[in-house]
Structure 1
Amino acid sequence: MTTIKKVAQLANVSTATVSHVINETRFVSEETRTRVLKAMEELKYIPNPAAQSLRSQKTKTIGLLIPILEDETNNIFFMRVARGIEHVFRESGYHIMLANTNESLDYEKEQIKYFKSRQVDGLIIAPTAGNHEFIANLVNEDCPVVFIDRKPEGIKGDFVLNNGFQGCYDAVKMLIDKGHRKIGILSGLLNLSPAQERLEGYRQAMTDHGLPLDENLILIGESSFESGYEMTRKLYEQFDITALFVASNAIAMGSIGYIQDKGIKVPEELAIIGFDNYDWGALSNPPLSVINQSAYELGAKAAEVLLKKLNKPSNRFKEYRLPTQLVIRNSF
């Protein structure tokens, strides 16, 4: 059986030096570190994770909480986010514990308690709807938290978010520049910050360009195909819109379904821009113009922010905004 003592003998160093290399508890010269790592590899020595945790008081484990619902199209988005997080932490020697909140605040609380019981070093959370003041009582400086994609209610913290406001503003401005004046918007429920910010981007763009805010042209509903289909029918048939901005991917699928069923010519009879860049949009007829938001990059940035807090704890918080991009195709 290979022991730390045998590694030390082969590398011609003390067992304490080997321990410092493994646990990163003290500076070791690059030459010595290389010699120790080479000895470990030659002897096929694998450090005991439990022993490492006891010595360093770190588990090298990160808890990741994301909301996944059955048949939800945003599942793809959050799995891309998870890939970005996992890539950054893997390069730094961390492991990820992944859990699903099912968009339930109660289940989110349970999962955070579980992660704490497993002594994770930090948490990355895409928060559900609802007040999150409880976070302050469940985590502390020993377990820093970074929130992604959504801003939780009732708490200060580090947030890594896409700039949905600017993306929607740019999309509506593009429609206005094309000469449209009766522009409708379809939004998901406003219980989460991304939907609120996207709607505000629409409102601000209309106001800045001197167009009236007709509340009849603002429809809010469930993020589903059925909801998108019905809301598009209502706006097109009852209010004679010439352009439509859809702030939810699932709703956009319903909009396209209605447009195709009714044989509406796009963009001649109705211009349309969606939010989020999924493969189906490029395959629609005509291909759907969309606001692309970063997913992998969002996760990678969140991981970098948390790593920085793990290496240098701080009570100072910051909000990071990633830019969105307008992907122009043939739908407006």
Structure 2
Amino acid sequence: MKKAETNTPITLKQIALKVGVSNIAVGHVLLGSGKKTVRVSEKTAERIRQVAAEMNYRPNLIARQLAGKGSNIIGVVIDTCAPEIHFKLLSEMERLAGLKNYRFMVGQTHNDISKINQYREDFASRGVDGIICMAHQDPDRGHEVFAAYSSFKNVVFIGKPLLDNNDSYYVSSDYREGMSKAVDHLCTQKCKRIGLLLLSTRTKAMEFRLEGFELGLKNHGFEKKHDLVEYIGLPGQISIKSLEPYILRLVHDHSVDGILACNDMIAAMAVRILQTNGLKVPEQVRVIGYDNVDWAGLFNPGITTLDQNYMQMSKLAIELLWAQINNQKIERKQRCVMVPPTLVVRQSA
């Protein structure tokens, strides 16, 4: 008869016996003990990690904390309605953290401050070593989220906080530079009137896009035209039907020959609306998106867009958090990192 499985935790000694090394070597690899006195080859360390995974080993959190060790857990809170690019950021950051033997504990919600505070308490009770906050951009609740999470010792925000005390750590796409680059490109393509499509969210990301748009126009000698900026609705509530009046107003009432969209989905909808109404893209109207999502190059025509360089942003965010966890000195100007987007030119512009 097969012996019933038990929930008895796997110990370092069991792993050491299976690998054929000392308990001290296993503790060094899995718990970070004896950093200055223990030496383990990378080949042996990889074998220890492999066996630990096979045996479903989990560190004893209480024992680690009593020994003055970290939990090797990073808490992450993310808005469920965040742009697609944020979930790619989350995936890449989790991969990079895994290379340092850290695991993610993720909480998701949308504009629910009670849940956000609950996640904060969960992170504190689990003794997480650091936090990555991706849910602080709501203009009504962002200040509360920032106040709640900035009190943690090791925190990195993705996107500039609404309330920045100049002492926070954050990594953000440089939306101003991105939109300015997009205007530059349309101007080199002889566009004379450029329209902008923004979400009606009042977030910093939308605000910075508008500032970049206006800066780009100014650099090319164009006046700011508020009637060429359309606020098209909230995330999740925009369809081709709801967007069509804004596009037709820009084209028929204001004779735009270039359109900048706040993301690639809006850009793709704009292209379809223009085509359905007998307008050729890019011959009559050029369209640029933002984010460079995976399907942007497969669309017909391929969407010209701004790539936020999420892999670089992920790497910088983990490095900032890692530096805090390890008590490394970071100059104030290095705590706030703006990553310039890259213009990806395709057929739509």
Structure 1, residues 251-302: CA drift from partner, whole Å, max 9, x if none?
2233123112212111221111111212443233322211111223322321
Q: Which residue of 1 aligns with 2:261?
A: 246
Contact 1:83 1:296 in 2 (8 A): no
Correspondence for 2:270 = 255
**Partner secondary structure for residue 89 of structure 1:** helix
Report SS of the residue matched to 1:331. coil
RMSD: 3.2
Alpha-carbon spacing, 1:198–1:42, altered in 2? closer, same or farther (3 Å): closer
Question: In 2, are the aligned partners of 1:22 and 1:47 still within 8 Å (CA)?
Answer: no
Alignment of 1:74-93 (within 5 A): 74=83, 76-93=84-101
In the other structure, the counterpart of 1:312 is 327
TM-score, normalising length: structure 1: 0.84
User: Does 1 or 2 have the higher relative contact order (CA < 8 Å, sep 6+)?
Assistant: 1
Q: Bigger shift: 275-284 or 298-307? A: 275-284
Q: Is 1:99 equivalent to 2:107 in the alignment?
A: yes
1:60 equivalent in structure 2: 72
Separation (CA, whole Å) in 2 of partners of 1:48 and 1:3? 9
Identity %: 22
List per-residue Cα deviations over 1:118-169 (Å, max 9, x = no partner): 221110011231343564455545x411001343325441111112211110
Native 8 Å contact 2:146 2:161 kept in 1: no
- The answer for unaligned runs of 5 or more in structure 1 is none
Q: Which residue is 2:284 aligned to?
A: 269
Provide Cα deviations, 1:177-202, integer angstroms capped at 9, x if missing partner: 22222111111235221111111111
Q: In 2, are the aligned partners of 1:125 and 1:148 still within 8 Å (CA)?
A: yes
The residue aligned with 1:146 is: 156
Q: Which amino acid aligns with 1:86?
A: E
**CA–CA separation in structure 2 for the residues paired with 1:39 and 1:213:** 62
- CA distance in 1 between counterparts of 2:59 and 2:77 reads 27
Report if aligned partners of 1:249, 1:275 keep a CA contact under 8 Å in 2: yes
CA distance in 1, matches of 2:288, 2:341: 14
- 1:92–1:271: structure 2 CA closer, same or farther, 3 Å change rule? same
Counterpart of 1:128 in structure 2: which amino acid?
Q
**Between Structure 1 and Structure 2, how many residues are aligned?**
325
Does 2:348 align with 1:331?
yes
> Aligned letter for 2:131?
L
Q: Are the counterparts in 1 of residues 116 and 145 from structure 2 also a CA contact under 8 Å?
A: no
- 1:213-232 Cα distance to aligned partner (Å, 9 max, x none): 11111112224234433321
Write the distance in 2 (CA, Å) between the matches of 1:166 and 1:42.
48
- Tell me whether 1:189 sits opposite 2:206 in the alignment: no
Shift of residue 90, structure 1, vs aligned partner:
0.5
- Higher helix content, 1 or 2: 1
From 160, 169, 172, give the equivalent of 2:180: 169
Gaps of 5+ in 2: 1-7
Indicate the residue corresponding to 1:225 in structure 2.
239
Q: Does residue 204 of the first structure (1) align with residue 219 of the second (2)?
A: no
SS of the aligned residue for 1:235 comes to helix
